[in-house]
Structure 1
Amino acid sequence: MSSESHSDQFHLPTLTSSLFDPEEDSSIHDPNGVVHGSSSAHSQPSDDVSIRAHTASSQPSTPSSSGYVAEIEDVALQNEIQELSIHGDDQYIGKPHRSDEDDASISWRKRKKHFFVLSHSGKPIYSRYGDEHKLAGFSATLQAIISFVENGGDRVKLVRAGKHQVVFLVKGPIYLVCISCTEEPYESLVEQLELIYGQMIVILTKAVNKCFEKNPKFDMTPLLGGTDIVFSSLIHSFSWNPATFLHAYTCLPLAYATRQAADAILQDVADSGVLFAILMCRHKVISLVGAQKATLHPDDMLLLANFVMSSESFRTSESFSPVCLPRYNSLAFMYAYIHYFDADTYLMLLTTSSDAFYHLKDCRIHIEMVLLKSNVLSEVQRSLLDGGMRVEDLPPLPRFGSSQLGQNRLQLDSPDRLREPNSGIGGDAGLWHFLYRSIYLDQYVSSEFSSPINTPQQQKRLYRAYQKFFVSMHDKGIGPHKTQFRRDENYVLLCWVTQDFELYAAFDPLADKASAIKTCNRVCQWVKDVENEIFLIGATPYSW
C-alpha cells in the first residue's frame, strides 16, 4: 500500500456478468472489404472491492494530466489481477493457438501482458488472449470500474496491484485496457493503447462511433472479424519496433542515386492524382511521395504497413482496399492499391477515389517497369541482405579538421581528459547498439544488433530499456533532459537530445563515461556523413 496521502475511500458495487447484455445487435456494413484483381465484389473480412484513489499529481511516476490513479486494497481482487500473468511470457505473435482460454484458465492468467477492447456497454470487442465472448464477465468488470469513476465526475487512468499496472484509455464509446507486469512505463502503455485504437480506426474509421450513438448495445465484433492477426502483429511490434514509441519511421539503406530513381517515378504517379505513393521493404521505407500539401504521419505509416504485412491476402494478388489514416482524416476512408513485387517489397498507392483501381493498376505497371530497368528492386534485395549500420564499422572521428556536427558536440561535465576508447566486444569503447532519430525528418536509424545482444530476449530487454529512457528524457514534469548517463548490471546507457536529433546508445556495462561520450560524437558524425543513404532527405517534415 502506498504511503502517500490519499483522498477518501470509495467502494465499488459487486461486479457481476449481468452488466453485460449478450443480446445480438444489428451491424453496419463491413468496411473491411478487399477487391482482388479486377473483381468489384468485396469480401468480408465478486466481491465488493475497496479502492483508494488519489490524483495523478500526488505521485511522480503517475500520469501527469488529470485523472485518477488507484492502489487496490482488496486482497482478493489484487490477487486476481496479479495471477493474470505471473509466470507466463508475451512472446506469442497471435492468440489462435489458445483461443479457447477464458478468465478462469490458468494459462490465460499467466500471461504477462493483456490488452482488452470493449464498448461502453461492457461488450467485449477484442482480447489479446482468449475468446472475447468467454471474457464477457471480465469485460463487464472493467467497464464497471470505468463507469463508476466517471459517474463521480472523474476518469480512471491507472490502477496498481502489486507489480501489475492496469492502464485505461477511453475513446468515446470504446474502452481500451492494458494489464501488464512488464515494468514498462505508464506513458508507454498508454501510447500502445493509442496505437491499438488507431489500428481499429484504420479498419473502420471513427465514424463507427455513430453506430453506438444510435444503439448503445451495438456489437462491433463482427466488423473486425478476421483481423485478430493484424492486432496481434501490432502488439508484437511493441517489443521490437522503435517506431512504436519514437513516432518516426525508418528507411532501407540505399545508394542516393538508387533512391532518387525510385523517388522520380513515384513523383510522376503522385502528379497524376495519387495522394500518397509509398514503396516499402518490410517495415522500412524505400521511397515516399505525397501530393502537394499532403503529409503522412509516421504513426499512420506504421499502422498502414502493419495492416498490409499482417494480411496474407495482400501477398497473393494485387488488391484495392478501403483504409483510414487516423492522423490524416479519422472520419473517412481512402483507398489503397497494394501490390507485392516480391516477398519483401511492396507498393502502396493511396487515393480518395473509390473507382481508381484500373488507373492505379496502370500506374503500378509503369512503376514496376522503371524499377526493374533502373535495377532498384535488385538493389533493394542487396541492401536487405547486407543489413544496416554496424557498430563494428564505426569510423574514427578525425583528430583535426572541421566537423559537420558544429556546435552539436557532447562534452564531458568534468575537466577530465578524454581517454582513447578501449576496443570492446561489439564496437569501440564497448558500443553494443545505437538508435538515432532525426527530429526534423521524423525518421530514425537503428544499428544492427552486435554479438553481445544476439537473442530475442536480450534484444527485447534493450528495447524496453530504450523505451524507459525515452519516457524519462521527455518527462514534462522533471524534464525534458538534454543528456542522461546510466549504468546497471546490463548496460551503460547514454542518451543525448538536441534540437536536431536524439541519440540512444548502449555500451558494455564496464564502459567508462569519457569513452562513451567520445564514441557518441563519432556515431553522430557517422550518421551525418551517410545521411543521404539512410534517410529520405527530401521528405516533408511533419508538424504535429
Structure 2
Amino acid sequence: PALAVLAARGRLVTAARQRALAEGGRLCASDLHLLLNLLGGGAGAGAGEVWTPVCLPRFNPDGYFYAYAARLGEEEEEGVTLILLSTEREGFYAAAACRRQLEDTLRAQGWLAELAAAVRGGAGYGPSRPGAPELRHFLYKPLEGPEEMQQLPQFTSPELEEPYTSEEEQHRLFDLYHYLHSRVHSPHRPLRLLYHVAEKETLLAWVTSKFELYSCFSPLVTKAGAIAVLTKLLRWLKKEEDWLFIRYPAPF
C-alpha cells in the first residue's frame, strides 16, 4: 500500500507511507479528516471489508487511490480500524493479506488488546490535564518539528467538558474558534495575538512561527491571566509532544 492508517473510533493512532509518497507532498489534515470520517470510525469495519476509490483533494485533486478498510480483532476488540491506500485497481487481495498479517502480529504482541482497552477506556485527556484549571478548552497546532512530522500536519485538543457537552454548545464554541481564526489570518490585518470577550467565555488566539493556539477560559479571565495560563500550557505541550503527536511517521 501507498499509505497505511490505523484509527480508533475516528482518531488517528499511527500512519506509515511509502517513501515515494512522502517525497511527493504533505498529507494535509483535511485529507486525513476525509479518510477518518469516511472509513476510520468503524463504518468500514461494520461492513466487513471495504474497497472503494477515494480522492484526497489537497494531495492530488486530479487523481485517486483505492482504499481498503477493515476492523481489526474480534468483537471485544471493536473500535480499531485499518485503512490502506493503494494505487492498484486490483489491489484488494494484496491489501486484505497485508491486513491479516498485521492483525496477527498485533495480536501476538498483545498490542491489539491494548489498543482496544484504550478505546474502551477513552484515549483522550481533559482540559485540566496540563494543570491549568482556568482553561476550559484549547486547540493547538505545532508549525515546527521534524521534517517527517511536517509531512503529516496534526493538532491536539482536550475532550470537551462542561459547559460544552451539548451539541449546541460545542457548535457555538467552534464558531468562536472560527471567528478567531478568521481574525488572526485576515488578509487585510493579520494578528499575532487576539483577546476576545464573548457572552459566556473569554478566548485568546496566539499565532507565532512555531505554533497556532486557540483557547477558551471562564468569562472573568484577564488578558494577562490568559497569557500566563497559556505559557504554562505551552511548557506542558512541549514536555508531552512525543505522547500528543506522531513526530516521526514511518516511511516504508
By the TM > 0.5 criterion, same fold? Answer: yes
Query: For the Cα contact (< 8 Å) 2:40–2:82, is it kept in 1?
Result: no
Q: Percent identity?
A: 29
- Distance (whole Å) between structure 2 residues aligned to residue 453 and residue 357 of structure 1: 42
1:309 CA displacement: 5.1
Highest relative contact order (Cα 8 Å, sep 6+), 1 or 2? Answer: 2
What letter corresponds to residue 223 of structure 2 in structure 1? K
CA displacement at 1:450 relative to structure 2: 2.9
**SS of equivalent residue, structure 1 residue 293:** helix
**Cα distance in 2 between the residues matched to 1:329 and 1:473:** 28
Matches of residues 22-101 of structure 1 in structure 2 within 5 Å?
none
1: CA distance between counterparts of 2:103 and 2:67?
A: 17
Letter in 2 for 1:388: G
Match of 2:207 among 482, 497, 516: 497
Partner SS, residue 393 of structure 1 = coil
Distance in 2 separating the partners of 1:508 and 1:318:
46
Q: Deviations over 1:18-60 (max 9, x none)?
A: xxxxxxxxxxxxxxxxxxxxxxxxxxxxxxxxxxxxxxxxxxx
**Structure showing greater Rg:** 1
The answer (yes or no) to whether the contact 2:45–2:81 under 8 Å persists in 1 is: no
Tell me the SS of whatever aligns to 2:83.
Answer: strand
Q: Which amino acid aligns with 1:383?
A: A
TM-score (ref. length: structure 1): 0.41
Matched, 1:527 2:231: no
CA contact (8 A) 1:387 1:448 kept: no
Match runs of 1:258-297 below 5 Å: 274-294=1-21, 295-297=26-28
Cross-structure match for 1:332? 63
Task: Give the SS at the match of 1:445.
Answer: coil
Aligned to 1:445: 156
Q: 1:467 to 1:484 in 2, by over 3 A?
A: same
Find the partner of 1:392 among 113, 123, 128: 128
Give the corresponding residue for 1:306: 37
Residue identity opposite 1:365 in structure 2? R
Aligned pair count reads 234
Kept in 2: contact 1:495–1:504 (CA 8 A): yes
Alignment RMSD: 2.1
Query: Are the counterparts in 2 of residues 491 and 508 from structure 1 also a CA contact under 8 Å?
Result: yes
C-alpha distance in 1, partners of 2:123/2:82? 21
Residue 136 of structure 2 is matched in structure 1 by: 432
What are the superposed Cα offsets for residues 72-115 of structure 1, whole Å, 9 maximum, x if unpaired? xxxxxxxxxxxxxxxxxxxxxxxxxxxxxxxxxxxxxxxxxxxx
Structure 2 length-normalised TM: 0.85
Counterpart contact for 2:124–2:158, Cα < 8 Å: yes
The 3 A distance-change label for structure 1 pair 382 and 314 is closer
Matching residue's letter, 1:290: R
Cα separation, partners in 2 of 1:354 and 1:477, compared to 1, 3 Å? same
In structure 2, C-alpha distance between the alignment counterparts of 1:449 and 1:394, rounded to whole Å: 14
The CA deviation at 1:533 is: 1.0
Distance 2:42 2:243 in 1: 30
Question: How do 1:276-425 residues align onto structure 2 when only pairs under 5 Å count?
Answer: 276-294=3-21, 295-308=26-39, 312=43, 314-341=45-72, 342-384=77-119, 385-395=121-131
SS of residue paired to 2:117: helix
Structure 1 distance, partners of 2:157, 2:71, is 25
Where does structure 1 lack aligned partners over 5 or more consecutive residues?
1-273, 396-426
2:172 maps to 1:477: no
Letter in 2 for 1:443: Q
